[in-house]
Structures are given as C-alpha cells and as structure tokens.
Amino acid sequence: MRIEQVTVHHCALPLVRPFRTSFFTEYVKEVLLLEVETDLGVGWGECVAAPDPLYSHEFNDAVMLVWREHLVPRLIGRDLTAEEVPELLGPVRGHPMARGALELALLDAQLRATGQSFADYLGSAHDRIPCGVSTGIPADDSIDTLIAEVDGYVAEGYRRVKLKIQPGWDIEPTRVIRERYPDIPLQVDANQAYSRADIEHLCALDEFDLLLIEQPIHEEDYLGHKLLAKRMRTPVCLDESVLSADNAESLIDYGACEIVNIKAGRVGGYLSAKAIHDVAVARGVPVWCGGMVETGIGRAANIALASLPGFTLPGDTSSSSRFFSLDVTEPFVMDPDGMMTVPTGPGLGVTPVPDVLAELTTSREELVT
C-alpha cells in the first residue's frame, strides 16, 4: 500500500450539553479527522487530542506540526502495511494520539481493500456490546441537574453510569445517585483530581458499591495508586497512567490497579490497545473501552475494540446523540436493551456523510505536496 495524499479535516461539532470534568469544560468538539488516500483506496482516522494541553500534553496544533514535519514524511514514498506503521514511526518520540490516528486511517484503507471488518481483524468475540454512559459535572453544580441527566440515561436503557468527580463534588452526588438507583452498575472518574493526602476521603466512596474508581491520583504517581488500592475496597482503575502494553504489565504487577481502561486513541492506536488487552487478559484483569467524545469515526473503532473477549465491563460506547445532534457519520444508536451492534462492513464500516462533513469542517489541509 502506498500513500498518495493525507488530508486533515478540522471539524467543530457542537455538544448537546457542556461536558465538564475536573480539568476543563468542553462546549464544542474540535477534532482532526484524517482522510488518507492510498493506491488501495481511502481510509479514515480520528485524532483524540484537544485544542489545549489540559488532559494530555498533545493538542491539535502540535498534532498538525508532528504530522506535517515528522510522521507523514516517514510514510510517504514507500510500500507499507498498516502493521508496519508503529515501527516506521518508532524513531519519533511520543505523540501517541497523532500516531494512532494515522495508523487507524491506514488500517481502515487496508481492510476496506480486503473486505474485512475492523472488529473481525482485531479478534471480535461479540456482535453486540453493552453500552455505558459518562456524565459530566453539571455546569450549575446542581444535584438536581445531575439527577435529571442520569434519569434520562437510565430511561434510554444504558447499562452502566459513570459520574465525573472532583474535590467538593464526590461523596454527595455519588450517594444521591446510588440511593436513587441501588442496582445500576455505577462508577466514578476523577481524572487525576486527588492526591495521596485524599486516600482516607476517597475510601468514603466504598459504601456505594461502585464498579471502580478511575484514575483518582496523578498519572505519574504509581505508588499513590498502589497505596489507595491497598486501602480502598472499591477497585482502582487506571486510565491516563496506561501508555503501552509494557507499561500496563508493570502497573498491574506492581499493584497500582485492578482494572484497566483502554483508550486506543491515547495509547498510540488500536494495535497498541489490542496488545494492552492481551496483557490484561493474561493476568486476569478486566478491561473496558473508554471514550474521548469521539465522532462516528472513532466511535466505530471503539465499538469494534470493545467486542474483544477481555472487555468484560461496559465501556463509554454510547449513542452518538449522547454528545452530538449532528455527527460526521450516520449516527450510532443504542438498542432499547442497552446494547450496541458492532459494525460489520469493510474497514471501520462507516464513512463521513459528505454534506455533513462539509457543514462541520472549518478548514482542510493537504499534507502531501
């Protein structure tokens, strides 16, 4: 396969409601979509970086620079397979989000040419997966607003609810939702908002019978997570700390986590995500598929990933309507029983709707001159 052109579509998708976490509030999803033209056909990828380096050190302007100056030039003018991309890009340090989007687009093109679905390629074990949903911290800091949001998701049929928490917004909202829904699988996500000094406070969450607490302490504080895991009954899950299969293996064996959240777009792509899955399965550690407010391109890939056998917990694989009134692809719609059908078409099984893509695109740039 030879790359002929790489086009970046800068898109802006308004959110149906602000999505607030412990580190920022998102009102519009500003996303970079990659369209890679090859001699075999076209493939699509999505970069999960944000406009600003708040969740991660990667951000959109830096992604554009590294694509333009370092990553794409290493792939131009050679015959390659998508599986060779990680090695070809190996000399460039870091930038896993940029790498992952490029790898995904080439996998999509390659699989479309052979007629194989992405799920089948990865090793799918299920044709439908359970859907979870992530709630943000209400913009008005109102418990009533949170209740109304969760009520709506439960009525839609979601099988798991995740609450975002931060200091000052943790024990009470969790208590209220657990009392209102005593049987629903419930988990919380702190996005690194706490420290070792908060271990005793976080243990107060144990009374709510949570599936897990996600990334409560800074991503580099492995010891802090190990200490929390020893003290807390609620299983500790790591997200931002997980960077690769080797890194995940070390974290698990060290005792820093009991569950792993795999975000393919953040760990360098779906080949890396599959390797992390395999490491966790070999150690009997559950994994689930986290979301990063993806469009239908990234959502299709995540749903395929979440159909692998080790994904035993519901992921952030919600309907498109959870975030967008208008998606770049045909929308993903959860079934009434809280399940999502895994795409079976060639490659990702979805492509942008041309008129919608044009409407949501703010600018385009071709990287091959």
Question: pLDDT tens digits, residue range 159-201?
Answer: 999 999 999 999 999 999 999 999 999 999 999 999 999 999 9
Q: Which residues are catalytic?
A: 164, 263
Write down how long the chain is: 369
Task: Write down the pLDDT at residue 234.
Answer: 98
Q: Residue 256 in contact with residue 235, Cβ under 8 Å?
A: no
- Judge if 280 and 361 occupy the same domain: no
Between CA 205 and CA 163 the distance in angstroms is 12
Q: Residue 44 in contact with residue 73, Cβ under 8 Å?
A: no
- Judge if 58 and 170 occupy the same domain: no
The CATH number linked to 202 is: 3.20.20.120
* pLDDT confidence bin for 2, thresholds 50/70/90: very high
Which two structure tokens, joined as six digits, stand for 231?
């003290």
Between CA 22 and CA 27 the distance in angstroms is 15
C-alpha to C-alpha distances, 300 to 258, 305, 326, 344, nearest whole angstrom: 27, 9, 16, 10
- The domain in which residue 284 lies consists of 119-341
- Judge if 293 and 188 occupy the same domain: yes
Averaged over 256-263, what is the pLDDT? 97
- Judge if 218 and 296 occupy the same domain: yes
* pLDDT at 369 > cutoff 80: no
Task: Write down the pLDDT at residue 25.
Answer: 87
This prediction has a pTM of: 0.95
> Rounded mean pLDDT of the chain?
97
Task: Write down the pLDDT at residue 42.
Answer: 98
For helices 270-282 and 245-254, give the axis angle rounded to 10 degrees: 30
The CATH number linked to 361 is: 3.30.390.10
Tokens 């931002």 correspond to 240
